[in-house]
Amino acid sequence: MADTKRTATLTLDGNTYDLPVLSPTVGPDVLDIRKLYAQADVFTYDPGFTSTAACDSAITYIDGDKGELLYRGYPIEQLADKSHYLEVCYLLLNGELPNKEQMADFEGRITRHTMLHEQIHNFFRGFRRDSHPMATMVGVVGAMSAFYHDSLDINDPWQREVAAMRMIAKLPTIAAMAYKYSIGQPFVYPRNDLDYASNFLHMCFSVPAETYTVQPALAKAMDRIMMLHADHEQNASTSTVRLAGSSGANPFACIAAGIACLWGPAHGGANQACLEMLREIGTVDRIPEFIARAKDKNDPFKLMGFGHRVYKNFDPRAKVMKESADEVLDLLGVHNNPLLQVAKELEQIALHDEYFIAKKLYPNVDFYSGIILEAMGFPTSMFTPIFALSRTVGWISQWKEMISDPAGKIGRPRQLYTGSEGRDYLDVENR
Ligand code: CMC
């Protein structure tokens, strides 16, 4: 964070206050209001944090107007084209791309952490069979703090590192087990001879009764989905992880909090909600009815998979995801899928509709990822768990960055109080 020595001046009730202007490496300047309350006895008001930077971070950068997403400075399009998920994990965690030895070492360490403590299997069996896999994941990831006592000390950098490795390695196993449990099939153990994405597909789709061979093109598409979801700056779930972590909570508890936040339909739950919406629309002729509902101020309905808080031009992840969707659908030969026809038509209508153009609402990453995952054979309930396992590296990188910052403080927003003024308690007979 470079200090440019510029200041902004706030005038309030005849008094002036200087607010330092801080300059990031790229992106808009930031007004430093940290001393404002002490000096002027006022808070700032910004529900939804639309104009508030809550931390310094060197991990991910988004330019919403340009439709740009950088992981540690590298454009997402280049990473999606040339890199792979575990290399992206290394980059996000460590700040630089690994050399060959570093990559082999990292891959080896992740691979050797993929199995879960056997007793966690019993823990799984406590959930109802029809539990949503996200519900199971929130519970199991939170419960990891009861199983891995040797990586709970947040003040020990080595334990933080081990917790990070464990989560990146075990989240696919947990997600796959949540899925298998929900469909009544036996858990499938990880296979260390497979790459990260192939291993996940294997744990989801293989059964003991027959051989399952992972199609390399599907593994590549899965790996790309993981890369595109790996981090996204200070979004709701990442901010949740940071806020939970700011109190000193252990890393497993913090990631469980992030998973819980991601589940909401305005965030990671949008991929499931989007597919359900496409099913509800059903046929192309019903699209105008749903477009009309999306525009109606009195109707809470929103087009799922459209819009974004930061991207106001296009979502660069959606562009890559759309290409992947075309490749996967070609490979699987599912062009006549009615859901896909509805999706394609909806995309075209919304992109040319005045309302969506004026409000800068474009298809986001969740619009296309659901289509790919559906074609691969995942039920909608697995869409958000796949987002969660992919985002775990982003959450843990941001958590580690926060914990290693010596200037870190507990997150504690203020409020604009609108309740009653102080009043005296009334005995029940006088109310
Ligand atoms: N359909 C119809 N209208 C919309 C939509 C939509 N999907 N999204 C925003 N609008 C309208 C909204 O009603 C508002 O209109 P007005 O200015 O007249 O009040 C205007 O556009 C601005 O929207 P907003 O709700 O103030 O924007 P926000 O930044 O608070 O919300 C969002 C962003 C992503 C939550 C929202 O666009 C949304 O709910 N989209 C659908 C859910 C979705 O696809 N979420 C996934 C986001 S990408 C992946 C992720 O982050 O997890």
Position 2 scores a pLDDT of 52
Structure tokens at 398: 């941001």
The residue nearest atom 17 of ligand 1, judged by CA position, is 359
Look over the chain and give the mean of its residue pLDDT values, rounded to a whole number.
Answer: 94
Q: Which ligand 1 atom lies nearest to the CA of residue 387? A: 52
Position 340 scores a pLDDT of 80
pLDDT at 368 over 90: no
Mean pLDDT, range 173-200, rounded to an integer: 96
pLDDT band (50, 70, 90) for residue 1? low
Q: How far is the CA of 291 from the centre of ligand 1 (A)?
A: 14
Q: How far is the CA of 362 from the centre of ligand 1 (A)?
A: 10
By the 8 A CB rule, do 320 and 224 touch? yes
The residue nearest atom 50 of ligand 1, judged by CA position, is 267
Position 3 scores a pLDDT of 56
pLDDT band (50, 70, 90) for residue 303? very high
pLDDT band (50, 70, 90) for residue 331? confident
> Sheet holding 74-75: strands in order across?
60-63, 68-71, 74-75
pLDDT at 4 over 80: no
Rounded CA-CA distance 85/67 in Å is 21
Q: Lowest mean pLDDT: which of 25-39, 54-68, 333-347, 362-376?
A: 333-347
pLDDT band (50, 70, 90) for residue 28? very high
Mean pLDDT, range 342-363, rounded to an integer: 90
Position 350 scores a pLDDT of 85
Identify the residues whose C-beta falls under 6 Å from ligand 1: 235, 266-268, 270, 294, 302-309, 359, 361, 364-366
**C-alpha dihedral over 375, 381, 383, 385, to 10 degrees?**
-140
pLDDT band (50, 70, 90) for residue 334? confident
Mean pLDDT, range 292-311, rounded to an integer: 92
pLDDT at 335 over 80: no
DSSP 124-146: HTTS-TT--HHHHHHHHHHHGGG
Q: Give catalytic residue positions.
A: 308, 366
Rounded CA-CA distance 227/97 in Å is 14
Find tokens 């199983």 and name the residue. 147
pLDDT at 57 over 60: yes
pLDDT band (50, 70, 90) for residue 333? confident
Neighbours of 396 (CB within 10 A): 29
pLDDT at 19 over 60: yes
The residue nearest atom 4 of ligand 1, judged by CA position, is 302
Which DSSP symbol is given to 49? Answer: G
More confident residue, 232 or 335: 232
List pLDDT tens digits, range 79-131. Answer: 999 999 999 999 999 999 999 999 999 999 999 999 999 999 999 999 999 99
Q: How far is the CA of 356 from the centre of ligand 1 (A)?
A: 11
Position 332 scores a pLDDT of 87
